[in-house]
Chain A
Amino acid sequence: MSEASADSDAPPAETPRGVVATVVFVLRFVLRYATRYWVSYLFGFLALAATNWAVVRIPTLVGEILNELEAAGSEGLARSEAAADLAVELMVWASALVIVRTFSRVLFFNPGRDIQYRVGVDLFSHLLSLQRPFYVRRKVGELVSVAANDTQSVRLLVGFAGLQVCNVLVAIPLHLWQLLRTDWVLTLWCVTPVLLGGIYMRWTVSRFYAMVRSSLERLARLSDRILESFAGVATIRSHGAEEAAVARFEVSNRDYLDLQLDVARLRAFAMPVLGFSGFVGTGLVLWVGGQRVLDDELLIGDLATFTALLMSLVSLLTSLAWVLTAVSRGTVALDRVQELLDRDPELPEASASHTLDASPRLELRELTFRHPGRDEPSLRGISAVVEPGQTLGIFGRTGSGKTTLIDILARIYSPPKGSVFIDGLDARHLELGPLRAGMAVVPQTPFLFSTTLRDNIRLLGEDAAVIAADDAARPESGLLAGLTRGRTDAVDGARAGQARVERAAGLDLRAPDPHLDAVIEAACMGPDLAALPEGLDTVVGERGVMLSGGQRQRTALARALYRRPRLLLLDDVLSAVDQATEVKLVAAIRGLSGQDGPDGQGQAPTTVIVSHRTSVLEHADEILVLDEGGLVERGTHAQLVGQGGVYAAAHEHQNEDQGGEAGRG
């Protein structure tokens, strides 16, 4: 993770691009995702046009009625019937408005939701196809924020902003047309302050968003600080540094408050300017319009029409200001989403497919590997051959390249051309799926999912039941129970998907699983399970926090063994396991490598095992000793101890520390 690569891969900055380029960019996205909803959008647009017609028609009608009344004076019923008819028409329009407005909103918003859903799923499945080099550069939190928040902004862009932009496109001309038609002189008078207010509002809203963005950043920093301090509370407590921690916290807290007050100032003094200008416009209607009524150039009811249309215009301009900003934010969010969607998985082209039906033969030829963005290679010129069923041990201190070697064999990083061969085929160009189906990798720091132990070992997605249980805790009321039935459907959907998996795998999840039992036995997990409240059904908590380091490592080992791998890659998996257990586990792994594996097929998996403990490596067919990426010693355990090099020294040191190893040949 060098500075340079972090920079080049930083999410795109909000560089302003040309309006045309932006429109093209957004349109391309819309074409890709939104076209299938064109019917919805078309009817939505029609409903929107109808809505605006009603919005303009209503104040005009009010004005006309008042004009009728004014004209009728005290002349009797004859003329007043016209006004009553107009009032009835007004009611019809008011009711129609409710209906068409509902339709316009629903028809615009719901496709937005659909699009958000589809973008989210596409993004997630694309992220799953991206490889380690990508995940080294990008933090998970940042990716989650793109998937969770930026897709929301994209939805607002195609739903809310889409509606508003269309709305404004229809409504503003309609309003102006109606105003001008009624009295163009008065229109010029009173629209001027409103338009000025609108321009000011546009400026204020962008300032507001800038503030909100930095206040969110400061809030995030504040939360980070809180989380960090709480996580380190034991350290703070034992050093009695509580007051110092509070003082440190107050700095961030004060920072946040200052910005909050800036936002409050803006909200109090700058935001209402547009509303204010609307009322100024109304004042002008009274003044100038009143004068024009006196001069007989305007009817008195038109004053009411003017006032109402003006207020309606103010709210349109307000939403326009917000929408323009939402659009620019949405575009930035869309940029970030698109950038991820367009990212290449960076996998070399697969030219062959190889299934590991039998334990493979591994060959490394002058393997030299440099991590992307690093100057120094992590591995230099390593060559080795591991015959089917044999075990290769890797020894070296922290940073010597052990883990890199495992990562390359697991194809977490792609090996350079012509350096790693599996059954004689260049591993670089093998298809990932079939290759990985036959291998199991246990990383140095095991990752457990917050589901049951059983599922963590078998990885069959059994935790649907856990989600359902969480969900069942929620009581529902009245009508909503019926309306949200979809919710349970969704969970059922997850369960149905589950059932498909089960059928495909030919397993019943609750049925006894002798292979699982064997694996648990091999990983020495029996006593641990007995101590856990619900045995295999214990939910292990976020990233396995319920378990000790050793238990986590052994769970990951069990997970690997469960897969009946033909190629087993173990990266320092016994580091947090105590001595006695280590002996048993080494025996279990050797048992796989012996003549009869637990699967009874008689062939042991080809194994590569990394450790900094010599006791783990004693039985390997060959041990490579690495230092700073290069090979410094190689041979069997006995040979290496005899050579008196780095390995022998470490062996000596560890032996001394472990009490002379008297009882352990």
Chain B
Amino acid sequence: MAEDAKTHPDVGSALGLLRRFWVFIRPHSAWLFSGLAVIPIVAGMATLRPLLLKRVVDEAIPAGDPEGLRTLALLFLGAVALEFSAMAVQVYCLQRSGHAAIYDLRTAIFRHVLRLPARFFDKNPLGSLLSRSTSDVEALGETLSFGVFTILTDVFMVGGILTSMFILSWQLTLLSLSVAPLLFLLVRWFSKNLRALQLEVRRAQGVQTGYLTEQLSGVSVVQLNGQEGLARDRFAGLGERYLRATKLANIFDSLLYSVMDGISAFCVALLLFFATPALLDDASWLGEATAGTLTLGLLFAFVSYLQRVFVPIREFSNKLATIQRAAASLERIYGLLDTLAEPRDAGGEDPLATWTGQVRMRDLSFSYAWGGAEDEAEAADGPVILSEVDLDIEAGEVVAVVGRTGSGKTSLGRILTQTYTGYRGSIEFVLADGSAVELRELSPDRVRRRLLMVQQDVFLFDESAGFNVTLGEAELDDEDAILTALETVQAADFIRERGGPDCAVGERGANFSVGETQLLAFARVAARSPTMLILDEATASVDSLTEQRVQKAIERLLEGRSVLVIAHRLSTVRHADKIVVLARGKVAEVGDHEALMARDGIYAELYRSGFDEASETAAASE
């Protein structure tokens, strides 16, 4: 049960979680309540049917009354029609409210995740995020539309039937239901084992599918290294595990199914066996009162009730498990929704409206362990990436930052765009009137409107080229504006060759070369024309010709704005007004190319040995 406790919260906390979920259901509660309102009708009609049967057998037929028979039959058909109509309404209304709430939840999760800070994505693999936004939500949806409310229906149904049975004859009821407690225990035992088995089945299947996916993704490696036999044996081994679990589950499942199926027949037999003397004798053992009231019609009614009353018992334990699974999903979903998102601009005046592009950094220190961490004490340790950096970027100036891997140059861009928070010291954005705003006082979305960072890895969405320029933002979505942006970075030609901005870029930009992908990313910048640009130069291997085009596009982008280049290419550095050399998080040298070469320090050494092309991302996560 330890496992159960871990993955399935108990029923109490499950209800608590569902209560919290009410926020999402409330807007659709009209559907919910309509669905709930008809439940008594469904249960009432289901209870009424056997009673009509009883009257047919006990009254109409013995009396030889065709009129009465017809009336009762019509009543029966009427009850059936009403029951099924009410049930249809109930199912539809409940599902509708469930799906609608899930729709809202899905959007809420998506919106929330997009606003989570970069730190969150460092720690959480995409796979688990995806499963929370899809499979967990699906599991919840399943429960909302079937599990929770059908249990209510079952309760009403069983309640109605039992009441009716007791009123008709409590002795016969007790008699025929005498096996019910045993049945209940049996079902519980089966279900518990089945649940654990199904967990094992899913796990075994997951491992096997994971192995399959990986081996097929790397099939060339497997083949080139002659690993086919080994892979096959491993796959078969994993398959055997799955096979064994499923076979065992089959046996349990079949037994449960058959027991449930046999039990109502058994109860009918019990009823008839004991009812026989009762019906024929004075049946004193069932109590004096019974003798007269026990009729053939009563047996008809009971036989009919017994066929229905056990069904919910079979389903109950499954439904409870579904609810618990949903609660576990909900718990994970809330774990995600409760993660603190980046603050968002509250509206009002844009404090950066008159920003000149000038930035003043004073005494700037930074560690990835600072900020974000809830616990300040824990935040204290962690490598310091930048320490006591003083750096000025004048309006319209191009500043290049160079340094070896791990010198902190990429981190600088991440701090300025508030991708990572928690810097110490001051970073001021100077406005036209000479006053300044401190970066940490600004909301990240405000900053990013004016200060754009272009990453090393260009990410293209599987949409049109135009979409990849606007990223779907309505105010940028104008064919002329897109073409102008493409023109600016000399990407218009190859886009036109492929049919204009509507051409598809393919999954992750598969239809474009690395260089073209770069140019598209630059077009994004051109379309937004930010006040300041941070350029994290790509280290990807691009052939010489494309590289020249990329270089030209960069030059155009630099025009007329403040630029911080995290430089990997010498040619870019030469265009810089100022070069800042970082070493171990400190500013080691500042000056232009000639001055720094003359100084014959770190820069000169870097220059001679070629620029560092090792991946910066590795350094960031150190």
- The docked-state distance in angstroms from the alpha carbon of A216 to that of B440 is 45
B270 near A: Cβ within 8 Å?
Answer: yes
B152-160, B367-375, B470-478, B479-487: which lies at the A interface?
A: B470-478
A516 to chain B, nearest CB (A): 15
Q: In the complex where A91-B269, A242-B115, A245-B471 touch, is A124 in contact with B224 (Cβ < 8 A)?
A: no
30 contacts between A and B (CB under 8 A): A66-B272, A76-B280, A84-B273, A90-B268, A95-B262, A102-B258, A105-B257, A105-B258, A106-B254, A130-B219, A140-B216, A148-B209, A228-B462, A239-B448, A239-B452, A244-B473, A279-B49, A284-B73, A287-B69, A410-B224, A449-B218, A474-B200, A475-B2, A486-B240, A487-B245, A489-B244, A649-B544, A654-B544, A657-B570, A663-B609
Question: C-beta contact mask, A260-301 vs B, less than 8 Å → 1, else 0?
Answer: 110011011100100110011011101100110110000010
Task: Please state if B250 and A490 are interface contacts (CB–CB under 8 Å).
Answer: no
Q: How far is the CA of A576 from the CA of B304 in the complex (A)?
A: 76
Interface segment out of the listed A166-174, A200-208, A249-257, A420-428 = A249-257
Q: Tell me, yes or no, whether B496 is within 8 Å of chain A by CB.
A: no
Q: In the bound complex, what is the Cα–Cα distance between A120 and B238 (angstroms)?
A: 11
CB within 8 Å of B: which of A94-114? 94-95, 97-99, 101-102, 105-106, 109-110, 113-114
Min CB distance A68 to B, Å, is 8
Q: Which chain A residue shows the least CB distance to B225?
A: A459
Contact indicator B244/A88 (Cβ below 8 Å):
no
Partner pick for A105 among B107, B230, B254, CB 8 A cutoff: B254
The contact string, 1 if C-beta is below 8 Å from chain A, for chain B 255-288, is 1011101110110111011001101110000000
Interface size on B, residues (CB 8 A): 175
Please determine whether B265 and A93 come into contact, CB atoms closer than 8 angstroms: yes
**Does residue A351 face the partner (Cβ distance < 8 Å to B)?**
no
CB pair B220 A447 closer than 8 Å = yes
Contacts of A484 in B (CB 8 A): 197, 200, 244-245, 248
B513: shortest Cβ distance to chain A, in Å? 6
Nearest chain A residue, comparing its CB with the CB of B608: A659
A248 on the interface (CB 8 Å rule)? yes
A22 within 8 A of B: no
The reply to whether the CB of A192 lies closer than 8 angstroms to some CB of chain B is: no
The residue from A91, A265, A397, A470 contacting B543, defined by CB atoms under 8 A apart:
A397
Map CB proximity to B onto A438-461 as digits: 1 under 8 Å, 0 otherwise.
011101000101100000000111
Q: Residue B96 contacts which of A264, A275, A483 (CB distance < 8 angstroms)? A: A264
Instruction: Check B303–A62 contact: CB distance below 8 A.
Output: yes
Closest beta carbon of chain B to A75's beta carbon, Å: 8
Rounded to whole angstroms, the CA-CA distance of A251 and B558 in the bound complex is 37
**CB of B206 to closest CB in A, whole Å:** 10
B178 at the interface (CB under 8 A from A): no
A241 contacts B by Cβ under 8 Å: yes
In the complex, the answer to whether B608 meets A662 with C-beta atoms within 8 Å is yes
Within 8 A of A (CB), among B537-566: 539, 541-546
A419: interface (CB < 8 Å):
no
Shortest CB-to-CB span from B2 to chain A, Å, is: 5
Contact of B114 among A76, A117, A229, A650 (CB under 8 A): A229
A605–B269 alpha-carbon span in the complex (Å): 85
Bitwise, A618-639 to B at CB < 8 A (1) or not (0) is 0000000000000000000000
Min Cβ gap B198→A in Å is: 11
Given contacts A121-B232, A250-B107, A287-B73, contact A474 B265 (CB under 8 A): no
| Centre residue among A87, A131, A579 by max chain B CB count within 10 A | A87
Interchain CB contact (< 8 A) of A290 among B56, B126, B129, B219:
B56
**Whole-angstrom CA separation of A548 from B226 in the bound complex:** 27
Residues of B with C-beta under 8 A to A601: none
A563 CB–B CB distance under 8 Å: yes
Question: Contacts A125-B228, A125-B232, A497-B233 known; A106 to B196 CB distance under 8 Å?
Answer: no
**B64, B546, B615 — most chain A CB neighbours (10 Å):** B615
Contact with B along A497-512 (1 / 0, CB 8 A): 1000100000000000
- Asked whether B405 is an interface residue with its Cβ less than 8 Å from the other chain, the reply is yes
Give the nearest-CB partner of A285 in chain B: B73
- Knowing A95-B262, A117-B242, A490-B238, say if A124 contacts B114 (CB, 8 Å): no
Bound CA span A572–B541, Å: 10
Contact with B along A43-77 (1 / 0, CB 8 A): 00000000000000010001001100110101111
B276 pairs with A69, CB closer than 8 A: yes
Q: Give the docked Cα–Cα distance between A310 and B174 (Å).
A: 28
In the bound complex, what is the Cα–Cα distance between A656 and B134 (angstroms)? Answer: 51
Whether A398 touches B513, Cβ cut-off 8 Å, given contacts A62-B272, A304-B303, A447-B217, is yes
* A113 touching B76, Cβ below 8 Å: no
Tell which of B86-94, B387-395, B431-439, B580-588 binds the partner. B86-94
* Residues in chain A near residue B245, CB distance under 8 A: 484, 486-487
**What 0/1 readout, one digit per residue, does chain A (224-254) give for beta carbons within 8 Å of chain B?**
1011111111111111111111111110011
Check B84–A97 contact: CB distance below 8 A.
Answer: no
CB distance from A345 to the nearest CB of B (A): 10
Q: How far is the CB of A47 from chain B (nearest CB, A)?
A: 11
- Nearest Cβ in chain A — how far from B45, in angstroms? 10
Q: Which of B19-27, B315-323, B352-360, B453-461 contacts A (4 or more CB under 8 A)?
A: B453-461
Nearest B residue to A547 via CB reads B618
Nearest CB of A to B57, in Å: 6
A362 at the interface (CB under 8 A from B): no
| Contact (A283, B300) CB under 8 Å given A69-B280, A106-B251 | no
Task: Please name all residues of chain A whose beta carbon is closer than 8 Å to the beta carbon of B244 when the two chains form the complex.
Answer: 484, 486-487, 489-490
Q: Is B419 an interface residue (CB 8 A)?
A: yes
- A140-B213, A283-B76, A490-B240 in contact; A110/B250 too (CB < 8 A)? yes
Q: Are A230 and B270 in contact (CB under 8 A)?
A: no
A258 to chain B, nearest CB (A): 10
**Across the interface, do B261 and A98 meet the contact criterion of CB distance under 8 Å?**
yes
Give the CA-CA distance A242 to B117 in the complex, in Å.
Answer: 13
| A561-579 contacts to B (CB < 8 Å) | 563, 572, 575-579
Beyond A483-B248, A484-B245, 8 extra complex contacts between A and B, CB < 8 Å: A58-B265, A105-B254, A106-B254, A222-B134, A226-B130, A397-B544, A576-B615, A579-B612
The answer, yes or no, to whether B33 is at the interface (CB within 8 Å) is no
**Chain A hits for B74, CB < 8 A:** 287
Chain A residues contacting B224 (CB-CB under 8 Å) are 410, 412, 436, 439-441
Residue B299 is within 8 A (CB to CB) of chain A in the complex: yes
Is B110's beta carbon under 8 Å from chain A? Answer: yes
A8 close to B (CB within 8 Å): no
B362 within 8 A of A: no
Contact B471 A235 (CB under 8 A): yes
Is B407's CB within 8 Å of the partner chain A?
Answer: no
Hey, which chain B residues are within 8 Å of A307, CB to CB?
Answer: 53, 304
> With A450-B214, A657-B571 in contact, is A101–B254 under 8 Å at CB?
yes
Rounded to whole Å, the gap between the CB of A288 and the closest CB of chain B is: 8
Q: Is B61 an interface residue (CB 8 A)?
A: yes
Q: Is the CB of A144 within 8 A of B209?
A: yes
Contact A480 B265 (CB under 8 A): no
Instruction: Give per-residue flags for B112-153: 1 if the beta carbon is below 8 A from chain A beta carbons, else 0.
Output: 011110100100011101100110001000000100000000
**A-facing mask of B195-224, CB < 8 A → 1, else 0?**
011001001110101001111111111111
Among B197, B237, B240, B471, point to the contact of A480 (Cβ < 8 A): B197
B573 to nearest A CB, angstroms? 11
Given contacts A475-B3, A494-B237, whether A260 and B99 have CB atoms under 8 Å apart is yes
B184 adjacent to chain A (CB < 8 Å) = no
Complex CA–CA separation, A246 to B115 (angstroms): 11
In the assembled complex, B309 has its CB within 8 A of some CB on chain A: no
| A230 close to B545 (CB less than 8 A) | no
- Cα separation A84 to B276 with both chains bound (whole Å): 7
- In the bound complex, CA of A551 to CA of B513 (Å): 24
Q: Does A586 contact B (CB under 8 A)?
A: no
CB-defined interface of B588-622 with A at 8 Å, one 1/0 digit per residue?
00000000000000000011111111110110001
Closest residue on chain B to residue A613 by CB atoms:
B541
State whether A87 touches B61 (Cβ < 8 A).
no
Least distance between A640 CB and chain B CB atoms (Å): 15
